[in-house]
Amino acid sequence: MTSYLLDTNAFAMALTDDPRLPAHARSVMATADRLAVSVISLYEIGQKVRLGKWPEMDPHVHTLDQRASSDGYDLVPLTGAASLRAALLDWDHRDPFDRMIAAMAQKEKLPVVSSDAAFDDIGIARHWD
């Protein structure tokens, strides 16, 4: 079974069929048996919409959980263990959302679909270009 964890940006691009989503990422996602999305991604999108930093997602923000479910994404809950793992990661990357996604990827032993090369620094397999 082939499974991947989508970074927030990859999830948003797939959700909106953004043409900037690279062909390799699309291919990986199209052939996967399971595409997981951390619930922290829903929080990240909502937070950035609320702050005016991601206006493109405004039309989608109120139905993200429903869309994720109807589009076949497996929403992965945030656990106490994952939260602690994210906080304690020996990783200079300061983005709290990425730290949570990295912790979940490690815990679930999943490669990520992400444009962010910072995931490479801690040995998480990453797919994009």
Tokens 């953004």 belong to residue? 18
Give the pLDDT mean for 25-37.
98
Give the pLDDT mean for 60-65.
96
Domains of the chain: 3-123 (3.40.50.1010)
Task: Give 64-118 pLDDT, tens digit per residue.
Answer: 999 999 999 999 999 999 999 999 999 999 999 999 999 999 999 999 999 999 9
**What number of other Cβ atoms are within 10 A of residue 29's Cβ?**
19
Q: How far is Cα 22 from Cα 43, in angstroms, rounded to an integer? A: 24
